Amino acid sequence: MAITVTPKPGASTSNSPKNIGIVIEGVEVITGLGDIARACSVLLGLTYSLNLDCPRLKYTFEVFQKLFLELDDSKLSNKVQSLKSKLQA
């Protein structure tokens, strides 16, 4: 799973508009998301709706869901609880 940021076709400068999309298992599943924040939220939604299991991103998704979105934040893993404590300090 990845969020990709590539120059739009025909763009020549580094400040040109970017094409932001999501790749799952080597297949670009969605493009034209506009910005990274939208891509993160769509990736989170795709992960839940497709019931994807990605052990490498387990804690990343837990932080999104439980710290940023404040969903079920009473049941945190030890690593995420540690991060929450450091963020609140």
Q: In this structure, is the dihedral angle defined by the CA atoms of residues 76, 79, 82 and 86, taken in order, positive or negative? A: negative
The per-residue pLDDT for 70 is 81
Counting the structural domains of the chain, the total is 2
The 8 Å CB, 24+ separation contacts for 58-65 are: 64/40
Examine the domain organization and report whether 47 and 63 are in the same domain.
no
Instruction: Domain of residue 3: give its range.
Output: 1-52
The per-residue pLDDT for 12 is 62
The per-residue pLDDT for 30 is 92
Examine the domain organization and report whether 33 and 61 are in the same domain.
no
Examine the domain organization and report whether 35 and 46 are in the same domain.
yes
Mean pLDDT throughout 59-88? 84
Of 48, 46, 18, nearest to 33 by C-alpha is 18
Q: What average pLDDT does the structure give for the chain?
A: 82
